[in-house]
A and B are shown apart, each in its own frame.
Chain A
Amino acid sequence: MRVRFHQSLGDLKEKLLVMAGLAEQSIERAVEAFRTRDLSLCAQIDASEAEINRYEREIDQMALDLLAMEQPMAIDLRFILSVIKINSDVERVGDSAVNIIERVRELQAFAPVDMPVDIPRMASLATDMVRRAIQAFIEGDAEAAQKVLALDDAVDKLNRSAYFSLLNVMREQPHQTLQALNTLVIARSLERVADHATNIAEDVVFWIRGADVRHYVAPAVVDGTGAERV
C-alpha cells in the first residue's frame, strides 16, 4: 500500500477544494457587487484573487512533485492530470470575478439603469454549474459530472440573447452604450464561468472513467433513408 502517496493525493484534492470555494464565492460576490453597486465587495474579491493565485501555484507544484517522485499510474495519473487542468479552470473562474468587478467599478460612474439582460439569473446558473462540477469532483461522480455538461446550453443561450439585446440598446440609446458594453462584458464573463465549469466536469469524467468527452461529436447515425447524419 502506498499510504503516503495516497495521503498526498488527498491533500491535493483538499487544497483544490478550498481554492474552488474561494473562486465560487468571488463570483457570487462580484454579481452581488453588480446588483448592489457595493464596492466594498470588490476589495474582498481582490484579496481572494491573490489567495486563489497562491493556491494555483501551490497545487501545480504539488502535482508536479507527485508526478516526478511517485510516477502515478492509471486512476491516480488521471486524477493528477485532472487536478492540473481543474486548477487552471478554477483560477480562471477567479479571474472572471475580477473581470466583473472591473466593469462594476466602471459602471459606478453612471447612474444605474436597467439593462435588458438577467445577470443574476446567468450568475445563478453559472455558479450552480461550478458548484455541481466541484461536487462531482469531491465525490468522484462521473454521472453527476456528465449532467453538468448539459447545463451549459442554457447559459450560452442567455449570453447570445444578452448580446443581441445589448446591441439593440447601443443602437437605439447610444448614450447608454458604455453601460451596455460593460454589462455585455459581465454576461460574457459569466458565460466563461459556465465554460470553465464544463471543463471541470469533463475532467472529472476523464478522471473516473478514463474517457475523453471534450468537444463531443455524436457518432454518425444512418437513418431509415440510408443517409448519414451527425
Chain B
Amino acid sequence: MGVGIEVTELDAWYGTHQTLFKINLNVPANQATALIGPSGCGKSTFVRCLNRMHETAAAGRVAGTVRIGNLDIYRDAAPVEIRRRVGMVFQRPNPFPTMSIYDNVASGLKLNGFRNRRMLDEIVEKSLRHAALWDEVKDDLRKKSGASLSGGQQQRLCIARALAVDPEVLLMDEPASALDPVSTAKIEDLIFELKSQYTIVIVTHNMQQAARVAERTGFFLSGKLVEIDATHKIFTNPGDKRTEDYITGRFG
C-alpha cells in the first residue's frame, strides 16, 4: 500500500543557486498528485528531493523535512533504502539495453542480493502484470532485450522495474512526454490502476494529462509552490491568478 508524503519547509540548492524555497506540501496516500509549472520552476528538483536523488547532482543540497509514511528520509534512512521505497520513472525510458526483459525487471532485486529463482519469477510476472506489459512480452522474457521493445513498452518496462522492489511511492517525471498518444493513454490507464497500491507523484507539462490522472495538482513557479488543490479546482477555477495565467497560456 502507498503511504502519504509530508514535506515541510523544503529548500534545495545547486551550489549557491537556490532552486526550491520553503515548500510545504502533503501528498495523500494512494492518490496521484500532479505537479505542473513552466520549465525551470523546480518541479523536477522537487520530486528528486523525495527520493534523495537531488543530493547526487553536483553540489545538490537540501534543507527541510520530507516524511514518507513514518520515515524522515533525510534523517532516518540511507539513500539506498529510500530509493527502494520510492521508485522513479523518468521522461525517457531507460531500460538496461543489454539485459533481457526479465533481467531488467529483476535487476533491482538481484542488486539487493535476492537470488530465489522461483520468487524472482513470481515477482517479475507480477510486476509486468501491474505494468500492463505481461501479455505483450511473456513469450520473449529472456529472448528479447529491453531495448528491442517500442518506446511505450520500454516505459512500462521501466515502471515494472520500479515496481519489482515493492515501493510505496512512485515518482514519475514526465513519463509520457516522449510517447505517442496510444502509448501515453496506456501509461495514463496504468497510473489510474497503480493508484490503488501506490502513492504517485507525477511531474508533467501536459496539463490535460494532469487533469486526467491526478486527484490533486500543484503549481510551481520560480522554485515556489504557488498552490495545490483538487485537480478539478485547479483547472476550472484556480485560487491564484498566477496559476490561472499559466494554465490559460497568458504567461510571459
- Residue positions of A touching B, CB distance < 8 A: 1-2, 5-6, 71-78, 210
Determine if B247 is an interface residue (Cβ-Cβ < 8 Å). Answer: yes
How far, in angstroms, from A114 to B66 measured CA to CA in the complex? 81
Taking CB atoms and an 8 Å cut-off, the chain B residues in 238-252 that contact chain A are 238, 243-244, 247-252
Chain A residues with Cβ below 8 Å from B236 are: 73-74, 77-78, 210
B235 contacts A78, CB within 8 Å?
Answer: no
Cross-chain pairs A/B with CB under 8 angstroms, 27 sampled: A1-B249, A1-B250, A1-B251, A1-B252, A2-B248, A2-B249, A2-B250, A5-B249, A6-B249, A6-B250, A71-B207, A71-B208, A73-B236, A74-B235, A74-B236, A74-B237, A74-B243, A74-B244, A74-B247, A75-B237, A75-B244, A75-B248, A77-B235, A77-B236, A78-B236, A78-B237, A210-B237
How far, in angstroms, from A2 to B244 measured CA to CA in the complex? 13
A73 contacts B252, CB within 8 Å?
Answer: no
How far, in angstroms, from A210 to B229 measured CA to CA in the complex? 15
How far, in angstroms, from A78 to B232 measured CA to CA in the complex? 13
B235 contacts A73, CB within 8 Å?
Answer: yes
Known: A71-B207, A77-B235. 18 other contacts (CB 8 A): A1-B249, A1-B250, A2-B248, A2-B249, A2-B250, A6-B250, A71-B208, A73-B207, A73-B248, A74-B235, A74-B236, A74-B238, A74-B244, A75-B244, A76-B248, A77-B236, A210-B236, A210-B237
How far, in angstroms, from A76 to B207 measured CA to CA in the complex? 14
State which size class the interface on B falls in.
10 to 19
How far, in angstroms, from A2 to B248 measured CA to CA in the complex? 8
- In the complex, how many angstroms separate the beta carbon of A72 from the nearest chain B beta carbon? 7
- In the complex, how many angstroms separate the beta carbon of B54 from the nearest chain A beta carbon? 30
How far, in angstroms, from A1 to B236 measured CA to CA in the complex? 19
Chain A residues with Cβ below 8 Å from B235 are: 73-74, 77
- In the complex, how many angstroms separate the beta carbon of B41 from the nearest chain A beta carbon? 17
Chain B residues with Cβ below 8 Å from A77 are: 235-236
A74 contacts B248, CB within 8 Å?
Answer: yes
How far, in angstroms, from A155 to B95 measured CA to CA in the complex? 71
Chain B residues with Cβ below 8 Å from A73 are: 207, 235-236, 247-248
How far, in angstroms, from A219 to B173 measured CA to CA in the complex? 44
Chain A residues with Cβ below 8 Å from B237 are: 74-75, 78, 210
With both beta carbons as reference points, the residue of chain B lying nearest to A71 in the complex is identified as B208
How far, in angstroms, from A1 to B252 measured CA to CA in the complex? 6
Interface string of B165-192 (1 = CB under 8 A from A): 0000000000000000000000000000
8 closest cross-chain pairs (CB), A and B: A210-B237, A2-B249, A73-B247, A76-B248, A74-B244, A73-B235, A74-B247, A74-B248
How far, in angstroms, from A140 to B133 measured CA to CA in the complex? 50
- In the complex, how many angstroms separate the beta carbon of A23 from the nearest chain B beta carbon? 29
Chain B residues with Cβ below 8 Å from A72 are: 248
How far, in angstroms, from A73 to B231 measured CA to CA in the complex? 12
Chain A residues with Cβ below 8 Å from B208 are: 71
How far, in angstroms, from A22 to B247 measured CA to CA in the complex? 35
How far, in angstroms, from A78 to B244 measured CA to CA in the complex? 12
Taking CB atoms and an 8 Å cut-off, the chain B residues in 195-252 that contact chain A are 207-208, 235-238, 243-244, 247-252
With both beta carbons as reference points, the residue of chain B lying nearest to A210 in the complex is identified as B237
With both beta carbons as reference points, the residue of chain B lying nearest to A77 in the complex is identified as B236
Chain A residues with Cβ below 8 Å from B244 are: 74-75
Chain B residues with Cβ below 8 Å from A78 are: 236-237
Interface centre among A71, A74, A75, A76 (most CB of B within 10 A): A74
How far, in angstroms, from A123 to B204 measured CA to CA in the complex? 54
- In the complex, how many angstroms separate the beta carbon of A75 from the nearest chain B beta carbon? 6
How far, in angstroms, from A77 to B235 measured CA to CA in the complex? 9
Chain B residues with Cβ below 8 Å from A1 are: 249-252
How far, in angstroms, from A71 to B208 measured CA to CA in the complex? 8
- In the complex, how many angstroms separate the beta carbon of A133 from the nearest chain B beta carbon? 21
